[in-house]
């Protein structure tokens, strides 16, 4: 059984399991799936400031905080106890594309040329962590939710704004990967 859990699950198993989260949450208590709102709940609970955005009954949404804590705990358990010991196989096309951007591939899903402690204090860190984090946070707030909230919950409940947001997430992702990311890497390489 442990070997089944350690292997990557095919899309036709993992996808429906994620999709079944939506009706389960709606049936259990009319709850909406999404992660970005948890930061607002944490701020409302911890920051005693007189800010109108944080003045609401965050305790009604406390389940969301337990959900996020479960995601964090699940990630730790999966990485420490359930990780697949086999080396990660990166396709040759992906390896060539990354090396063209001066990103060495060492069979790691998070290239150390970008995601490393040294990069926290240099130009790469500024772009990828500070500016990128700000843009993700701003975009999430501007779109009224994150990709999981709109793409999983919003689309499954036939919400037009979620379809628009999901299309914009995809277009923005494609533009970033094919246009902006290579440009940034050429500047800071």
pLDDT tens-digit readout, 125-184: 777 778 888 888 888 878 888 888 888 888 888 899 999 999 998 999 999 888 988 887
The whole-number pLDDT of residue 160 equals: 93
Instruction: Indicate the pTM of the whole model.
Output: 0.68
Q: Both 128 and 176 in a single domain?
A: yes
Say if 60 falls within a structural domain: yes
Residue 65 in contact with residue 42, Cβ under 8 Å? yes
d(CA 153, CA 50): 31
Query: Which residue segment(s) compose the domain that 150 sits in?
Result: 117-189
Q: Both 82 and 2 in a single domain?
A: yes
Integer-rounded Cα Rg, in Å, for the chain is 19
66: Cα separation from own chain's centroid: 17
The number of distinct structural domains making up the chain is: 2
Location of structure tokens 């965050």: 58
Say if 165 falls within a structural domain: yes
Boundary-marking domain end, from 68, 86, 104: 86
Q: Both 1 and 58 in a single domain?
A: yes
d(CA 143, CA 44): 20
Q: Both 130 and 175 in a single domain?
A: yes
Boundary-marking domain end, from 41, 70, 86: 86
Q: Both 81 and 121 in a single domain?
A: no
- Could you tell me the end-to-end alpha-carbon distance of the chain, in angstroms, rounded to an integer? 45
Q: Both 58 and 121 in a single domain?
A: no
Distances (CA, A) of 138 to 65, 145, 169: 21, 10, 13
Say if 144 falls within a structural domain: yes
């Amino acid at each position: 059984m442990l070997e089944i859990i350690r292997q990557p699950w095919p899309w036709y198993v993992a996808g429906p399991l994620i999709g079944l989260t939506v009706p389960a949450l709606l049936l259990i208590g009319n709850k909406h799936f999404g992660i970005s709102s948890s930061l607002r709940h944490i701020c409302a609970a911890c920051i005693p400031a007189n800010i109108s955005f944080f003045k609401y009954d965050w305790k009604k949404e406390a389940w969301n905080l337990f959900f996020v804590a479960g995601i964090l705990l699940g990630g730790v358990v999966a990485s420490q106890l359930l990780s697949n010991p086999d080396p990660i196989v990166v396709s040759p096309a992906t390896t060539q594309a990354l090396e063209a951007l001066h990103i060495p591939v060492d069979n790691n899903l998070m290239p150390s040329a970008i995601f490393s402690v040294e990069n926290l204090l240099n130009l790469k860190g500024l772009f990828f962590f500070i500016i990128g984090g700000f843009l993700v946070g701003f975009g999430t707030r501007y779109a009224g939710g994150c990709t999981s909230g709109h793409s999983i919950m919003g689309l499954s409940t036939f919400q037009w704004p979620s379809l628009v947001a999901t299309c914009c997430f995809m277009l923005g992702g494609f533009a970033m990967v094919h246009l902006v990311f290579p440009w940034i890497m050429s500047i800071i390489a």
